[in-house]
Chain A
Amino acid sequence: MKLKTTLLASVIALAPMAAMAADLTIGFSQIGSESGWRAAETTVTKQEAEKRGIDLKFADAQQKQENQIKAIRSFIAQGVDAILIAPVVATGWDEVLEEAKDAEIPVVLLDRTVDADESLYLTAVTSDLVHEGEVAGQWLVDEMNGEDCRIVELQGTTGSSPAIDRKTGFEQGIEGHDNLEIVRSQTGDFTRAQGKVVMESFLKAEGGENICALYAHNDDMAVGAIQAIKEAGLKPGEDIRIVAIDAVPDAHKAIADGEMNATIELTPNMAGPALDALEAYLADGTEPEKWIQTESRLFTADDDNMAIFNEKKDLGY
């Protein structure tokens, strides 16, 4: 009897391990490839899956929700072990998520969340946009160390949530430091071209010597602004300190060249934490937190930016 119990127990204990060893098949419904970051996310997700020996079924929704719903239904019909979704919009997921739940297939949301009941998905892996802004603000606080600094800000697309959140976060980051003051703030629409144009107008309006730092809501605008600063005869990174968000390869290169000071990473590796959570859940039912926040890592001249640039440049940014 005892032997039997032991045997049974060991079988039960080993069962999840056997399940682990068996190849996992995971479906990934991606929004599309509208931005460099999105393309990098796709590449990194595929790499992460390969590293773990997971068979990843990839479906590009070409920016259409109906394609994503179709893909998820097909994943369910196929009987995948888990589903990753980067949802294109927040609404309209209840039905298909219920079907997944019914089929006992865990769903993990990447990069964005949805307006659906929390019980319908395992967890969501996203970055905290406000926190990113805060890290940028905190960096400037430390960098200035009490010295006076007039800051200009290049905002993202007016009304978009990254623009709102990154602005709020930065303001929180520099709160209580009266030496730091945002003197001008305008939208550069997240693009390089607009970043340059708006920075030119900042330089004209304020005078280059009166600006001590630039905070841009994304790296692309910062890269455009660097051009404008150079054309005005100033040294970006020295005369005007530059901090931005995203950590795209070009920002690492700019930091390596001494033309930019800091960038905060919006990591394209959402899949890493997601797959960790999934593997733990499938192995022994460990319920992850409902929200997994990715790290908003700060990169400065202290890092080996050239190496990171080389690593990142092939990800599809």
Chain B
Amino acid sequence: MIRSTHLPLLITLATFVLAYALCASAYPAMLSLRVVANLLTDNAFLGIAAVGMTFVILSGGIDLSIGSVIAFTGVFLAVILRETSIHPLAAFALVLLLTTAFGTAMGATIHYLEMPPFIVTLAGMFLARGAAYVLSTESVPITHEFYDTLQGLYWKIDGARFRLIGGLMVLTFIVGALVAHRTRFGQNVYALGGGEQAAKLMGVPVARTTIGIYAVSGGLAGLSGIVFSLYTSAGYSLATVGVELDAIAAVVIGGTLLTGGYGFVAGTFFGILIMGLIQTYIVFDGTLSSWWTKIVIGSLLFAFILLQKGLTWAAKKRAAQARMRTATGSAALS
């Protein structure tokens, strides 16, 4: 029997397959390897950030700072590579350290000051965006040779290029899924999402887990920023505005419950692909306004939220029935 917790993931998968089939029937070229490679390359930065967002939402929180952190990372890298002779790898390490520390600080604020994640990460969003503007208001090109080397790494079949950044996204999803489903930290995240009080009673280290979640989200936003800088060969403080909202949408379309506790990292992967597919279809069509992307994603989100509500309601009802049955059972016994 299919467990109801798996149902959203299955629906996401079905949506993806159906959407792809519809696209392919309209435009056979959508089945080409090129489109597959493009989906991976073009959504790499969003996908990596969405893995972090999955952990945050699984724990019942939210992280609004992601888009700003990505932009900050890009500008930071561009400026530091322009001003100093530091190697990009060292710069990557430095910026990952910075963004992880930034996430850690937000997590600590959320836990110790008992502030809602919404407010704390909103402050983080302004802070990171502001910091990016202070570094540079203009788009700063990155011309380091090492960037060319990294951009030159791809696996080419039939004209399709599977690039490094697409691979990195897939790897992030695999590691993310393993951490979520195979480690103590992952279990704690799910427990926290099920309810903080209950998690405490079960002996979940709430402080460490909360801080860890936002540290992971910050760090992955940093990684996403590195990928974005590879994608555009530049750092621009105006870039990736609103990416956090796209990431949240991908997580929800991927079947993760917005209230936390239920969901799969793999679902987010398909959420990302569905969103990418919609964009690709609209470009292939070429007559639709590209704002339709937002309308379709909005409708999908709404449908998935309704589905979540329905499932939660059904689960509650079943639980209530079960309680009633045990109650009547014990009454009959006595």
Tell me how many residues of A have a C-beta within 8 Å of chain B: 33
Cβ–Cβ contact A91 & B29, under 8 A: no
A250 at the interface (CB under 8 A from B): no
Q: Given known contacts A56-B286, A74-B280, A99-B161, is B239 in contact with A65 (CB within 8 Å)? A: yes
B57 to chain A minimum Cβ distance, whole angstroms, is 23
CA distance A79 to B98 in the complex (A): 42
Cβ–Cβ contact B234 & A91, under 8 A: yes
- Within A258-294, the residues touching B (CB, 8 Å) are none
- Within B137-167, the residues touching A (CB, 8 Å) are 139-141, 151, 159, 161
Checking B34, B228, B233, B283 against A91 with a beta-carbon cut-off of 8 angstroms, the contacting residue is B233
CA distance A62 to B232 in the complex (A): 16
Q: Given known contacts A59-B282, A73-B41, A95-B151, is B236 in contact with A78 (CB within 8 Å)? A: no
By beta carbon, the residue of chain A nearest B32 is A77
Would you give the 0/1 interface string for B70-87, flagging 1 where the beta carbon is closer than 8 Å to chain A?
000000000000000000
Cβ–Cβ contact B41 & A92, under 8 A: no
Q: List 7 A-B contacts (CB under 8 A).
A: A55-B286, A58-B287, A65-B236, A66-B240, A67-B290, A69-B232, A77-B30
Checking A55, A61, A66 against B232 with a beta-carbon cut-off of 8 angstroms, the contacting residue is A66
Residues in A lying within 8 Å of B, measured CB to CB = 27, 55-62, 64-67, 69-71, 73-79, 89-92, 94-95, 99, 102-103, 115
CA distance A64 to B139 in the complex (A): 13
A316 to chain B minimum Cβ distance, whole angstroms, is 13
Cβ–Cβ contact A73 & B232, under 8 A: no
A53 to chain B minimum Cβ distance, whole angstroms, is 15
B35 at the interface (CB under 8 A from A): yes
B15 at the interface (CB under 8 A from A): no
Checking A57, A70, A103 against B279 with a beta-carbon cut-off of 8 angstroms, the contacting residue is A70
CA distance A56 to B288 in the complex (A): 12
CA distance A78 to B28 in the complex (A): 9
Cβ–Cβ contact B234 & A89, under 8 A: yes
A300 to chain B minimum Cβ distance, whole angstroms, is 37
A274 to chain B minimum Cβ distance, whole angstroms, is 17
Checking A62, A76, A90 against B139 with a beta-carbon cut-off of 8 angstroms, the contacting residue is A90
By beta carbon, the residue of chain A nearest B45 is A66
Residues in B lying within 8 Å of A, measured CB to CB = 27, 29-30, 32, 34-35, 38, 41-42, 45, 139-141, 151, 159, 161, 228, 231-234, 236, 239-240, 276, 279-280, 282-287, 289-291
Cβ–Cβ contact B139 & A78, under 8 A: no
Cβ–Cβ contact A115 & B284, under 8 A: no
Cβ–Cβ contact A62 & B290, under 8 A: yes
Cβ–Cβ contact A77 & B34, under 8 A: yes
Checking A57, A62, A94 against B233 with a beta-carbon cut-off of 8 angstroms, the contacting residue is A94
CA distance A74 to B43 in the complex (A): 13
Q: Given known contacts A66-B42, A74-B284, is B290 in contact with A92 (CB within 8 Å)? A: no
Contacts A59-B283, A73-B42 known; list 8 others, CB within 8 Å.
A67-B290, A76-B34, A77-B32, A78-B27, A89-B236, A91-B139, A92-B233, A92-B234
CA distance A90 to B231 in the complex (A): 14
A33 to chain B minimum Cβ distance, whole angstroms, is 10
By beta carbon, the residue of chain A nearest B34 is A77
Residues of B within 8 A of A58 (CB): 286-287
Residues of B within 8 A of A77 (CB): 29-30, 32, 34-35, 38, 280
By beta carbon, the residue of chain B nearest A94 is B233
CA distance A94 to B34 in the complex (A): 18
By beta carbon, the residue of chain B nearest A75 is B283
By beta carbon, the residue of chain A nearest B283 is A74
A39 to chain B minimum Cβ distance, whole angstroms, is 12
Residues of A within 8 A of B286 (CB): 27, 55-59
CA distance A73 to B291 in the complex (A): 19
CA distance A66 to B234 in the complex (A): 12
By beta carbon, the residue of chain A nearest B287 is A58
Q: Given known contacts A89-B234, A91-B141, is B284 in contact with A78 (CB within 8 Å)? A: yes
By beta carbon, the residue of chain B nearest A71 is B283
